[in-house]
């Protein structure tokens, strides 16, 4: 039987880079060509096993449009992880990504796990952002980096698995009386025991 652990994750990034498509691929394993821009934010969940725990991702997929920018803090503030998405065919979206990282560093939770996703890697013919740039940048900020394609289902699962692995294991400590492991509920990632 495994503990279920809730992990709040939010997706950030420029408009049109494919945040919702990544979530949709991850949660429903589905891709829609004619997806409309997200309004505000949308919420989905998916539970995946990780070691001897189950991680339930509570995903806030935020709107990329500039006008919704100031809504983002309410979603990333309580998050255990942030996926910052850029479009490998758009240099601009990589700049926006850097701005998001900066904002997260300044206003985000202290230990937030950051993952950089270079989406639309199926379009590498018209690539504008070299893989190397992204890797170096990610290294400099200590973030996970991966190129994904929501359309072709490349690296989407892996992205979330990598996040799972980066989440520090639950703090466990000995209970003097019974010697059992206690699971706190006072962590950013709420823990609930289940299956």
Partner 1 sequence: MLLEDTRLEKEEFSTAFPEKMSTSTMESQTLDERGSFFKLIDTIASEIGELKQEMVHTDLALDDGRTSLPSLEKDMGDVCPDQKDFTNIIRDSGYDSLPNKLSILDKLLHTHPIWLQLGLNDAEAVEILRSQPPGTFLVRKSTRMQKKVLSLRLPNDFGFCLKEFAIKESIYTFSLEGSGISFADLFRLIAFYCISRDVLPFTLKLPHAIATATTESELEEAAQLGLNFWSSPANNKLQKSSPLQKPLPSDSIYKGSQQLCLINGVHSIRTRTPSELECSQTNGALCFINPLFLKVHSQDVGGNLKRPGPKAQDVNGPERSRSPPPRPPPPSIHSLLAHPQLSRTTNQTSLPETVSHSKHWNLDVIQKRPTPIPPPRLKKKALSLEAESNEKNSAVNKPSHNLVDGTEAASIPGGAPPQQNLESTNSLAAHCESQVQWNGGRQRLSNMSLSTSSSDSLDFDRSMPLFAYDGDTNSSLEEFEGESDQESMAPPLKPKKKRNGSFVLPKIVKSQLRKMSGVFSSFMTPEKRMVKKIAEMSQDKRTYFGCLVQDYISFLQENKECHVSSTDMLQTIRQFMTQVKSYLSQSSELDPPIESLIPEDQIDVVLEKAMHKCILKPLKDHVEMMLKEFHTADGSWKQLKENLQLVRQRNPQELGVFVPTPDFVDVEKIKVKFIAMQKMYSPEKKVMLLLRVCKLIYTVMENNSGRMYGADDFLPVLTYVVAQCDMLELDAEIEYMMELLDPSLLHGEGGYYLTSAYGALSLIKNFQEEQAARLLCSEARNTLRQWHKRRTTNRTIPSVDDFQNYLRVAFQEINSGCTGKTLLVRPYITTEDVCQLCAEKFKVDNPDSYSLFLFIDDTWQQLTEDTYPQKIKAELHSRPQPQVFHFVYKRINSDPYGAIFQNDNSDQNT
Question: Based on CB atoms, which residue is closest to partner 1, 140 or 186?
Answer: 186
Question: Based on CB atoms, which residue is closest to partner 1, 16 or 78?
Answer: 78
For the chain, the distance separating the N- and C-terminal CA atoms, rounded to the nearest angstrom, is 5
Residue whose structure tokens are 């006008």: 67
Site string for partner 1, 118-147 (x = CB under 8 A): ------------------------------
Question: Based on CB atoms, which residue is closest to partner 1, 130 or 168?
Answer: 168
- Tell me the C-alpha distance between 162 and 17, whole Å: 20
Options 110, 125, 126, 176; binder of partner 1; rule CB under 8 A: 110
- 53-62 vs 41-50, strand pairing mode: antiparallel
Options 33, 52, 67, 140; binder of partner 1; rule CB under 8 A: 67
Is residue 166 involved in binding partner 1 (CB under 8 A)?
no
Q: Is the dihedral of CA 82, 88, 91, 92 positive or negative?
A: negative
HEC string for 83-107: EEEEECCCHHHHHHHHHHHHHHHHH
Interface ranges with partner 1 (CB under 8 A): 1, 3-4, 6, 8, 39-45, 58, 67-68, 70-71, 73-75, 77-78, 107, 109-111, 171, 177-188, 190-195
């Amino acid at each position: 039987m495994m503990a279920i652990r809730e992990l709040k994750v939010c997706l950030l990034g420029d408009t049109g880079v494919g945040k919702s498509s990544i979530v949709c691929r991850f949660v429903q394993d589905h891709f829609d060509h004619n997806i409309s821009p997200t309004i505000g934010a949308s919420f989905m969940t998916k539970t995946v096993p990780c070691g001897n725990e189950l991680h339930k991702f509570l995903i806030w997929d935020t709107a990329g449009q500039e006008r919704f920018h100031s809504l983002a803090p309410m979603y990333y503030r309580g998050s255990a992880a942030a996926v910052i998405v850029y479009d490998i065919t758009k240099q601009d979206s990589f700049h926006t990504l850097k701005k998001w990282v900066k904002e997260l560093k300044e206003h985000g939770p202290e230990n937030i796990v950051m993952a950089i996703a270079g989406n639309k890697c199926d379009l590498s013919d018209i690539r504008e952002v070299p893989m190397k740039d992204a890797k170096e940048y990610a290294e400099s900020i200590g973030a996970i980096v991966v190129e994904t394609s929501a359309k072709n289902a490349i690296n989407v699962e892996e992205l979330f698995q990598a996040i799972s692995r980066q989440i520090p294991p639950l703090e466990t400590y000995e209970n003097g009386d019974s010697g059992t492991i206690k699971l706190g509920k006072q962590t950013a990632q709420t823990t609930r025991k289940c299956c």
